[in-house]
Amino acid sequence: MNTETVIDVERLNVSYDDFHAVKDLSFTVRRGELYALLGTNGAGKTSTLEVIEGHRASSSGKVTILGEDPRNRKAVRPRMGIMLQDSGFAADLSAMETLTLIGGLTGRQDHPDRVLDVVGLTTKADTRVSALSGGEKRRLDFATAIYGSPELIFLDEPTTGLDVASRDDLWDAVDRLREDGATIVLTTHYLEEAQQRADRIGLMHEGTFRMQGTVSELTQTLPGTITFHLPENAPQLPLESSLAGNGSLLIETHGLQQDLHTLLSWAQETGTELRDLDAGPTRLDDVFRSIARH
C-alpha cells in the first residue's frame, strides 16, 4: 500500500446554527486505499463528505484533497470523481447527453461510449433520464464518477437500488479502477460490502469517530459468539454461558477457536447434542450495533 496521503482531515468541525454535526474529526486516506466512512443516521458522515468533496465549507479545521483545498474545483475536480447520493440529472437529456455534459465539465478526457459500456447502459444511450429506472440512474451516476478514470473517487451509497448482478458489475469496475491505483472513499448502509472491500473503516456516531481501523481491528474489539441449544438434564457446561433471546445458550469469547474446541470436546465426551450450533467471529454489523446503542 502506498503511504502517500490523498485526503487529510484535521480537527474538522461542521455546525448548523446550534447543531454541531461534526466534532473535531481527524483522519487520513492513503493512495490506493478503499476507505469506508460509515455511521449511524445523523452521525455526520454526509456533512463530512460534503466538506471533503468541496460542496460545503467547514466551520473550522483543515481539509486537503490531493494536496489542494477541496473547494479549489479547477485544481481538484479533474482528478476526482463524485457519485452523489441523489442523481441530480436533467430529466430531458438522454443518458449519453448527460454523460457527455457532466463528464466533459469535470475536465477529464474519456470516450462516453466506453464509459456507458462499462456501466452497462449502451442500449440506453439515447433514452432520456426521465425514462431510466432508479438502478439505471445510479449506474449513470457511477458513469459520471468514473469518467476519465480519476485517481480519487467518492462513492456515496453506490449500490442502493441496484440488483445483485448490477452490484457485482459495479464492484468489478471499482476493482479494475483500484488495480490502476485509484483511491476510493465509500459510504454505504450495506455493511457487508464495507466488510468485504474496505481497507480501513471509520465508524461515526454523533459527529465523531467511535472507531477507526481495518475490519479485523474493529471486529476484535467485541467478542466472538457461540450459540446452541442444550437438551434438558445436560451435564454442567465447561464454559461460562448466558441465555440468548431465543432460548439458546450464548458463549462470548475472545478465543473462539480454543473455546469452540473445548465445547465440542465436552459434547463428544459427555455424548451431548449441541442443537443449532452456530459459531463465528464478530461481524461489522455487531460492532455497528454496539456503537449505535451507546
Partner 1 sequence: MLTIARSELRQILRNRMVFFSATVIPVGLSLLFIAQRDAFSQVPTGMGFLAGAFMMILISMGLYSTAVTTLAARRQTLFLKRLRSTAVSDPVALAGILGPPALIGIIQVTAVLSVLAALTEAPAEIPLLIVSGLSLVLMMLGLALATAGVTTSPEHAQVTTLPVTMGTSAVAFWIGFTGTEELGMLKRALPGGAATELTINAWNGGTDLVDNLLLLPPTLGWVVIGVLLAKRFFRWEPRH
**Binding residues for partner 1 restricted to 55-74, rule: CB under 8 A:** 55, 73-74
Selected from 8, 27, 93, 122, the binder of partner 1 by CB under 8 A is 93
Q: Which stretch binds partner 1 (CB under 8 A): 4-12, 36-44, 97-105, 109-117?
A: 97-105
Strand order in the sheet with 224-229: 242-243, 249-253, 224-229, 275-280
| Pick 50 or 259: Cβ nearer partner 1 | 50
Please identify which residue in 53, 110, 157, 259 interacts with partner 1, judged by CB under 8 A: 53
What would the 3-class secondary structure string for 158-226 be?
CCCCCCHHHHHHHHHHHHHHHHCCCEEEEECCCHHHHHHHCCEEEEEECCEEEEEECHHHHHCCCCEEE
Distance CA 138, CA 161 (A): 7
Residue 78 in contact with partner 1, rule: CB under 8 A: yes
125 binds partner 1 (CB under 8 A): no
Q: In the complex with partner 1, which residue's Cβ is closer, 150 or 224?
A: 150
User: Contacts with partner 1: how many residues (CB under 8 A)?
Assistant: 24
Cβ within 8 Å of residue 192, ≥6 positions away:
284, 285
- Which of residues 86 and 240 has its CB atom nearest to partner 1 in the complex? 86
Residue with smaller CB distance to partner 1, 156 or 286: 156
Smallest distance, partner 1 to C-beta of residue 183, A = 17
SS3 label, residue 275:
strand
- Select the residue interacting with partner 1 from 29, 58, 89, 219 (CB under 8 A): 89
Smaller CB separation from partner 1, 80 or 260: 80
Residue 181 Cα to chain centre, angstroms: 18
Among 88, 112, 82, 108, which Cα is nearest to 100's? 112
Q: Counting contacts by CB under 8 A, is residue 250 touching partner 1?
A: no
Options 5-13, 103-111, 219-227, 264-272: segment touching partner 1 (CB under 8 A): 103-111
Q: Is 77 in the site for partner 1 (CB under 8 A)?
A: yes
247 — phi, psi (to 5°)? 90, -5
Tell me, what amino acid is at 263? L
Q: Does 82 bind partner 1 (CB under 8 A)?
A: yes
Local structure of 255: helix, strand or coil: coil
Hey, what amino acid is at 194?
A: A
Q: Determine which residue in the list 97, 169, 199, 252 makes contact with partner 1, applying CB under 8 A.
A: 97
Nearest Cα neighbor of 52 from 40, 17, 39, 35 is: 35
Site of interaction with partner 1 (CB under 8 A): 53-55, 73-74, 77-78, 82, 84, 86-93, 97, 101-102, 104-107
